[in-house]
Amino acid sequence: MLDGRPDDPALRAQLAQAKIDLAAALRLADRHGFSEGICNHFSYAVPGHADIFLLNPYGRHWAEMRASDILVLDAEGRVLEGSGQAELSAFWIHSRVHVNHPQARAVLHVHMPWATTLTSIESGRLLPCSQNALRFWNDVAYDDDYNGLAGDKAEGDRIAGTLNGKRVVFMANHGVTVVGESIARAFDDLYYLERACELQVKAMQTGRPLKLVSDNVAGNVKAALDSNPYAADHFVALKRLLDREGQDYAA
């Protein structure tokens, strides 16, 4: 049962796979240097229920995350499944994004270094200066007002409001949040977002002007990349690496 709602075997199977995928995404994010201490958080809305979502618990390092560790929460913060608790800012950011943007099934929030570097400079923007950056052409929102820790519903709603239909939001002086229709798509975006930000920051360090791609070419490249099933294949390949190492993320 989920919050008194009848069990559905198909939904249960989806939920079990989502927990596995979320645990894998957290371990892979740590492997790529996207994690920070035991901070930051990934979530996934239960299919058909934007007000019920999976979330990694407070206190578990991403490198040791297992499917059985993942919490199931409702929009009021009650733990419906799992042991442990949600970190406060994690709950407010993720619950309000899921409620306000039902299409954002996966919500990944990180302080990964290269992307956060761009959020830490005045008017930091991801510019179309590399092929990786073109994946996000016209699909990044910018929250230029840092209000401190997200400690209440109002701040969660404010952050959710900045998405404005985009896949990525740059949170000034803070980090980034990436949303997607699946865990695989959101993780693929997270991976390439950090690569794009790294390339841009390194190019900026040369002191030379950035060579920007035209809007027309950027739009064509983004459309081609959006229509490609690459994200799902990428995520399957990455999980295969974990399986080959005998990691217990699915436990």
Each residue's pLDDT tens digit, 34-46: 999 999 999 999 8
- Arithmetic mean of pLDDT, 229-240: 96
Residue 12 CA to residue 27 CA, distance in Å, equals: 23
Sheet holding 79-81, edge to edge: 79-81, 71-74, 49-55, 41-46, 106-110, 175-180, 168-171, 140-143
Per-residue confidence band for 2, with pLDDT thresholds at 50, 70 and 90: low
Say what the pLDDT of residue 50 is: 79
Dihedral (Cα; 195, 92, 160, 28), 10-degree rounding: 20
Is residue 164 classed as helix, strand or coil in its secondary structure? coil
- Characterize the bridge pairing of strands 140-143 and 168-171: parallel
pLDDT digits (tens, 9 = 90+) for 134-162: 999 999 999 999 988 888 888 989 999 99
Q: Which of 117-121, 150-154, 223-227 has the lowest mean pLDDT?
A: 150-154
pLDDT digits (tens, 9 = 90+) for 195-205: 999 999 999 99
pLDDT over 90 at 3, yes or no: no
pLDDT digits (tens, 9 = 90+) for 159-185: 999 999 999 999 999 999 999 999 999
Say what the pLDDT of residue 237 is: 98
Residue 35 CA to residue 37 CA, distance in Å, equals: 7
pTM of this structure:
0.95
- Residue closest to 179 by CA, chosen among 191, 169, 194: 169
pLDDT digits (tens, 9 = 90+) for 42-73: 999 988 887 899 999 999 999 999 999 999 99
Q: Taking the alpha carbons of 147, 193, 128, 103 in that order, is the dihedral positive or negative? A: negative
- Arithmetic mean of pLDDT, 113-129: 97
Residue 14 CA to residue 201 CA, distance in Å, equals: 39
Residue 70 CA to residue 245 CA, distance in Å, equals: 21
